[in-house]
Amino acid sequence: MFMGTMSVDDKNHLTIGGCDTVALAHRYGTPLYVLDEHFLRQKARTYRTIFNDLIPGSKVLYAGKALLNSAVCRIMAEEGLGLDVVSGGELYTALTADFPREQIYFHGNNKSSAELKMALERGIGRIVVDNIWELKTLGELAARRGVNVSILIRLTPGVEPNTHSYVRTGQFDSKFGLPINADTTMDAIRQAVDMPGIDLKGFHCHIGSQIMELDAYQKTVRLMIEFLARLKRGLGLTVEELDLGGGLGITYLPDEKSPSLLDYAQAISSALTTSCQKHRLAMPQIAVEPGRSIVGEAGITLYTIGAVKEVPGVRKYVAVDGGMADNPRVAMYGAKYTGCLANRVLDDAEELVTIAGKCCESGDILIRDISLPTVRTGDILAVYATGAYNYSMASNYNRLPRPAMVLVWQGKSDIIVERETYDDLVRLDRIPQRLTEAKAAVVKG
Ligand SMILES: Cc1ncc(COP(=O)(O)O)c(C=O)c1O
C-alpha cells in the first residue's frame, strides 16, 4: 500500500522521496519521522486548486495541530495556504517561521488572556471565538489597546459524523463552540456586533476528524447556511465568511477508501450552491481547514526491531524502539496502521506478528496482527501514514527522547526537527536546594 513517492529499489529497500529508508535509518537513527515533501506539496496545491476552481475566492487553511514545525510552516506558506493555530506555541512557531500573519486563524476553546494579547499584538488574520467568556475577554483587551480585531464565532451545528467519539466535535454537547439553535448564541452574536473593537466577519464550525462520509459535510453546509439565513431575517445581519473546518478522513489500511479531494470539494460546493439559492443568500467566502488529509499520508515512521518474543500458541511479539510516545493514536483511539519491513519489502509474508512499542504499558501496541516476512532483530520497520497527529501528539513518556524528523525530496534528506537528547530531558529539571541540604543533614547526623 504505497503512498506518495514510496517505491522499492533494487536492494529490495523501501524508498521515499528518492531516499533509501534503510540508509535514512542508519544515518539519522530510529525512531525516525520521515516526511515526503513532494507529496505534501502536491496535497496542499491540489486542495488549493480544487477549492478555488469549484468555490472561487475560497481559502484553504492548513490545520497545524496535525503536524507543525518551522519547515512545515514554510512549505504551507509557499503553497499559498493559510494556517489554523490553536495555542500560543503554535502561533509562536508560525510567527518565528515568518508565516504571513493575516493568513493565521487562531482557534481554541480556552485561549488565555496572554495568548489573546499575543494574537492582538501580532495582528493575525482572525480569532475564532469559541465562547462568551472569550468574547468578553477579547472585547476588553481590544478596547484597552484601541485596536480592531476580526473574528469568527465557532458554532456547533448538531451534526454527529461516524468517527471516534474523541474526535467528534459538531454535536451540541461539546466543549467547543456555541450551539447553533440556542437563544444564548443569538445573544452572544448581538453582543459581538455591538462591541467596539470587534469586527464579526462570520462563523466557523468543525464537525470532527477522520470523517469518511461526505453526507455529514453536506448536512453541515445546509445547517450553517440555514443559520445565516435566520440571522439575516432575525437580526438583519449579513456576514461575509463561513469557515467549514477540516476533518476529511484518509486511508490508513489497504481495505479503506477515503473520499478524493475532488469529491469532498464537490460535495461542499454543490450543497453550498443549493442552500444559498434556497435561502436567497449570496455565497459567503468559504474557508476549509484540513490537517490530516494534507499531511497524514505524507509521513512514515521508521523503527528498528529489537526483541522478538513468541508466546507459544498465542502470538509473536515484535518490539520496536518507539511506540506510544511517538505515536499515541493507537493507545488513544484504537487507531490501526500498516507498514512493511523496509529492508525486505518484497519478501513473501510468512508470519502474523504483533508490533509492540517499548513503553511500560500493555496498551503500547502499534500494530496488532500484521503479516510480514520472518522478522529478525535489526530489521527496519516502516509504519505508513503517520504524518498527522503523531509528532504533534508525541510525549516523553518513560523519558524517551522524541524522534528526529527528516524531510525527503528527490533523493535529498534534511533534518527538520532534531532528535531530542538525554540532556534535553533533564534541561528543565531543577533540584531544590533544600533537598541537597536535607541529604547533607542525613549524612552528617
Ligand atoms: C477547529 C479544527 N479545524 C481543523 C481541524 C483539522 O482536522 P483534520 O486534521 O481532521 O483535517 C481540527 C482538528 O480536530 C479542528 O479542531
Residues 289, 207 within the same domain: yes
Tens-level pLDDT at each residue, the chain (445 residues):
899 999 999 999 999 999 999 999 999 999 999 999 999 999 999 999 999 999 999 999 999 999 999 999 999 999 999 999 999 999 999 999 999 999 999 999 999 999 999 999 999 999 999 999 999 999 999 999 999 999 999 999 988 887 777 777 778 888 999 999 899 999 999 999 999 999 999 999 999 999 999 999 999 999 999 999 999 999 999 999 999 999 999 999 999 999 999 999 999 999 999 999 999 999 999 999 999 999 999 999 999 999 999 999 999 999 999 999 999 999 999 999 999 999 999 999 999 999 999 999 999 999 999 999 999 999 999 999 999 999 999 999 999 999 999 999 999 999 999 999 999 999 999 999 999 887 778 777 6
Name the residue with the closest Cα to ligand 1, atom 10: 247
Residues 108, 171 within the same domain: yes
**Nearest CA-CA partner of 348 in 316, 321, 371, 382:** 371
Q: What residue ranges line ligand 1, CB within 6 angstroms?
A: 63, 65-66, 84, 107, 206, 209, 245-248, 289-293, 388
Q: Residue 19 sits in a domain of what CATH number?
A: 2.40.37.10
Assess if residue 98 is contained within a domain. yes
Residues 17, 77 within the same domain: no
| Residue tagged 480556552 (cell numbers) | 110
User: Domain count of the chain?
Assistant: 2
Ligand 1 atom closest to the CA of 211, numbered from 1: 10
Assess if residue 437 is contained within a domain. no
pLDDT score recorded for residue 294 = 98
Pocket test for ligand 1, best of 51, 65, 242, 264 (most atoms within 8 A of CB): 65
Assess if residue 261 is contained within a domain. yes
pLDDT score recorded for residue 160 = 82
pLDDT score recorded for residue 29 = 98
Ligand 1 atom closest to the CA of 128, numbered from 1: 1
Q: How far is the CA of 206 from the centre of ligand 1 (A)?
A: 7
Assess if residue 442 is contained within a domain. no
Q: 339 pairs with which residues across the strands?
A: 383
| Pairwise CA distance, residues 364 & 323, whole Å | 6
Residues 217, 244 within the same domain: yes
Contact (CB, 8 A) for 94 and 76? no
∠ at Cα 361 (358, 365), nearest 5°? Answer: 65
Residues 183, 282 within the same domain: yes
For 204, phi and psi rounded to 5 degrees?
-135, 150
| Residue tagged 484540513 (cell numbers) | 290
Last residue of some domain: 256, 277, 295? 295
Residues 31, 52 within the same domain: no
DSSP 248-294: B----STT--PPPHHHHHHHHHHHHHHHHHHTT-PPPEEEE--SHHH
| Pairwise CA distance, residues 125 & 59, whole Å | 12
Residues 220, 127 within the same domain: yes
Residues 158, 14 within the same domain: no
Q: Residue 153 sits in a domain of what CATH number?
A: 3.20.20.10
| Residue tagged 535489526 (cell numbers) | 378
Assess if residue 419 is contained within a domain. yes
DSSP state of 146: T
AA letter at 402: R
Assess if residue 434 is contained within a domain. no
Assess if residue 152 is contained within a domain. yes
Q: How far is the CA of 138 from the centre of ligand 1 (A)?
A: 23
CB under 8 Å to 444, separation ≥6 — which residues? none
Residues 129, 234 within the same domain: yes
Q: How far is the CA of 169 from the centre of ligand 1 (A)?
A: 9
Residues 92, 224 within the same domain: yes
Residues 214, 309 within the same domain: no
Residues 286, 355 within the same domain: no
pTM attached to this predicted model: 0.96
Q: How far is the CA of 423 from the centre of ligand 1 (A)?
A: 34
pLDDT score recorded for residue 35 = 98
Q: Which domain holds residue 22?
A: 7-35+297-426
Q: 200 pairs with which residues across the strands?
A: 151
Assess if residue 441 is contained within a domain. no
Catalytic positions, written as ranges: 360
Q: How far is the CA of 210 from the centre of ligand 1 (A)?
A: 9
Q: Which residue spans within 26-133 are E strands per DSSP?
A: 32-36, 59-63, 82-85, 104-106, 126-129
pLDDT score recorded for residue 438 = 78
Q: Can you say how many angstroms the Cα of residue 157 is from the centroid of all Cα atoms in its chain? A: 21
For 71, phi and psi rounded to 5 degrees?
-65, -40
Pocket test for ligand 1, best of 209, 292, 393 (most atoms within 8 A of CB): 209
| Pairwise CA distance, residues 215 & 218, whole Å | 5
| Residue tagged 475560497 (cell numbers) | 58
Ligand 1 atom closest to the CA of 154, numbered from 1: 1
Last residue of some domain: 243, 276, 295? 295
